[in-house]
Amino acid sequence: MRLPVPVLCAVTASLLLSACGGGGSSTPTPAPPDAGPICTQAVASSPVQLQSVPAAAVGAPDWSAPRVPGRVLLLGSLAAQSVTTLAGVVTQAVTDGVRLALTPAGTDDRAFAVTLQQTGLRVQPDFLYAPLANPNDPGVPGNAGVPISGAGTFTQSYLTRVRAPQAWTFLQSCGKTPVAAKTAILDSKVEAGHPDLTGRVAGSASFLSPDSGGSDTSTGHGTASAGLVGAATNNGRGVAGVTWSGPLLAVEVLGAAGGSTSDLARGLNESVRQGAKVINMSLGLPGDPGDAVLAQALTNAARSAVLVAAAGNTAGDGVYYPASHPDVIAVGAVAQNDGQLACYSARPSAARPRALNIVAPGGAGNCPGATNAAQMLILAPGGGYTLGAGTSFAAPLVSGVAALMRAANPALSAADTKARLLASVNGAAGQPLLDANAAVRAATR
């Protein structure tokens, strides 16, 4: 979930590399490690329970919500009557217990669903999720660009605000390195060849359906998310990720036209299959579409992975889905003021009271008083750097800290990692601000 920013730090890739610190980062570096014992590692004395949503608790599908036309999703086993109704209909497996059915030509999707429901089948749309949105500002990667002479030097001030350098130093003093547990980035295509991702992308998978518009190679949304979690660090180049090393899994579920329920469900299942311990989802859909297929995939994934999602980029629509799922950490954004939500950040509403779990810097966007210095310094396509804003860029900071926690103490379960992370927030300014240092200390106690 990405927002346009007033001015972006960029003209060409070569200018960006120097203007944004390519020849040597001014990102804060940790102090030398202090001598000290290896930190103790303990697990919770009692198990932490997931808050999974029973299938019956998922609302009725909202057929007015964005969806992929020309197909529906079938849930559960097929009875004999259903098999007869589906004769001649093209279907394919999506996940266990879920099949995709192409709507016959000349038939409305909703009418087709009603026919199938009359045979006892559970049917829903293949909802369409998006990074919200791909802005058209000239300086955003993939657009014409803004020729700004002497754009200046920008630093990752958000790292100090979430106390990442202190977390790094603490881990080093415990005899550990700031390494990440395997983290899946469910997003648009990640540019694994970006110089600041060298050696970090350990695997990739793509689940784009033909209706996703092909790979999104222009906005760099997935590359930016991956870089915030795990840009190569302490290498004298560009920017630092929250984690210094460790495997990233690039899972392409968003194309140029967004990503569907079936794309996301496959991506979640593959992330779990490949052993991801943290899954970042900088994507969403306003409201609660009644997406039972994605709800089940999230519930299944939460058994082994910490799930993190951007809360949304509109202030009046409540927390977006899937961030509003109870097993997902819903991440809001702060701009310049750590005690105040950014003007664009999703938040609870009267109609949708689901609260944010945590907030992190996401850039000022077009909020009043926004400046370039208040935006997020992120990776851009073509090996460059740019500025951006949105809850999309707050969520990966949380994912990165969760990955540090699970690597520092592999005995922690996903649920216990989530509980310790959320219990360690810094509320001094009035918002539950991510505190990397407190979180990694909590993980090793």
**Positions marked catalytic:** 187, 221, 392
Residue of 159, 208, 156, 189 whose CA lies nearest to 381: 189
10 Å CB burial of residue 100 (0-12, 13-18, 19+) is: buried
280, 396 in Cβ contact below 8 A?
yes
**Beta-strand relationship, 328-334 and 376-380:** unpaired
Asked if 178 and 122 touch (Cβ cutoff 8 Å), the reply is no
Question: And the tokens for 438?
Answer: 């407190």
Could you tell me which of 154, 158, 135, 138 has the C-alpha nearest to residue 146? Answer: 138
Could you tell me if 125 and 101 are in contact, meaning their C-beta atoms sit under 8 angstroms apart?
A: no
Measuring CA to CA, how many Å separate 169 from each of 31, 100, 340, 422, 444?
A: 6, 49, 28, 21, 14
Contacts of 254 (CB under 8 A, 6+ apart): 129, 130, 131, 186, 187, 188, 212, 216, 221, 222, 263, 283
